[in-house]
Amino acid sequence: MGRIAGVTRAETRERLLSAAADEFARRGYDGTRVADIARAAGVSNGALYAHFDSKAELLVAALRAHGRRLLADLFDADPDRPVVELLLATGRWLPKRRDARAHLVVEALVAARRDEEVARPMRDYVGERGDWLAGLMRIAQTGEEMDPALSPNALAHLCLLLGMGSALIPPDMHAVGDEEWAALLARIVAALAPPRPAAALHGRNTVKVQIDTKRCQGHGRCYDLAPGLFGEDDEGYGTVLGDGAVPEGGEHEARLAGANCPERAIDVLGEA
């Protein structure tokens, strides 16, 4: 069993990466043999070693190719979308049940603690992810979505901890309600917003929110993100609480709710 007739080198490599992702996810790193991966890919051990020097290299390559990349995929699909909105959309998925391949990062991190051969490429992988995230944080700071006084590297580290750590706690071990989790994320993101200048806190124009009922489809993101500003009516559609006046310091939550409404049914009025 060598090279498969009619299959290119690139296709063989992808077969190996796909088989490795499945085998590592099913058996774990220590329980997976190179022969298991080669057999699952339909090639010989020699053909596998023509592409990868070691099982450790194959593990990290499989993680790069088939690991979970929610934030990166969202950013690639819509690079002009506000960074904070991308983070919230990704964050809402963290507690969800995931397929076996999404746990590859757990296998790689555990193996890296025991095996320096795995640790070396994993340091590169995590470093690259951290650098990419730090760059994304700088974009958010330049766009005045996040406080520029915060360290982009520290923000990236927080994202790494949340993203990779979430794979360790599946919903069957500890579940959290969607609304509870979304409200917490909104509070965290609001705390990362730039501080308002002192001059803007005195004598400012009143900021108000309003909902276009013709466009609202009842997704509920507004009252998840800003429960002090929005609620839901008897039919589950969004509604403004009170007269819609935004309390001092609540402007960021109002903007988040507006940015996350899929129908753009929310207007924030009166901002300077």
pLDDT tens digit sequence for 50-65: 999 999 999 999 999 9
Q: Give the domains, in start order, of the chain with CATH numbers.
A: 9-191 (1.10.357.10), 200-269 (3.30.70.20)
pLDDT on residue 270 = 75
pLDDT single digits (tens) 195-226: 765 545 455 557 889 998 888 988 887 887 78
Determine the average pLDDT of the residues in 157-185: 89
Name the pTM for this structure.
0.74
Tokens 């924030």 belong to which residue?
A: 268
- How is residue 224 written in tokens? 């998840």
Say which range, 83-87, 131-135, 151-155, has the weakest mean pLDDT.
Answer: 83-87
Region 98-109: mean pLDDT is: 87
Given a cut of 60, is residue 272 above it in pLDDT? no
Which whole-number Å values give the CA distances from 227 to 97, 175, 197, 240, in the listed order? 26, 21, 25, 10
pLDDT tens digits along 2-17: 455 567 889 999 999 9
Comparison of pLDDT for 46 and 221, the residue scoring more = 46
Report residue 31's pLDDT band, with 50, 70 and 90 as the boundaries. very high
pLDDT tens string 117-126: 999 999 999 9
pLDDT at position 197 is 59
Residue 191 has pLDDT above 90, yes or no: no
What is the model's pLDDT at position 110? 93
| pLDDT (0 to 100) of residue 111 | 95
CB 178 within 8 A of CB 89: no
Average pLDDT (93-115) is: 89
The token pair at 238 is 């969004």
- Residues 92-98 have a mean pLDDT of 86
For residues 202 and 142, the model is more confident at 142
Dihedral (Cα; 82, 85, 90, 95), 10-degree rounding: 170
Q: Which of 71-85, 101-115, 255-269 has the lowest mean pLDDT?
A: 255-269
Q: Is the pLDDT of residue 41 over 80?
A: yes
pLDDT at 1: 46
Distances (CA, A) of 7 to 2, 40, 97, 134: 11, 16, 35, 39
Confidence of residue 190 (pLDDT cuts 50, 70, 90): confident
Please write the tens of the pLDDT for every residue from 242-258: 888 888 777 777 887 88
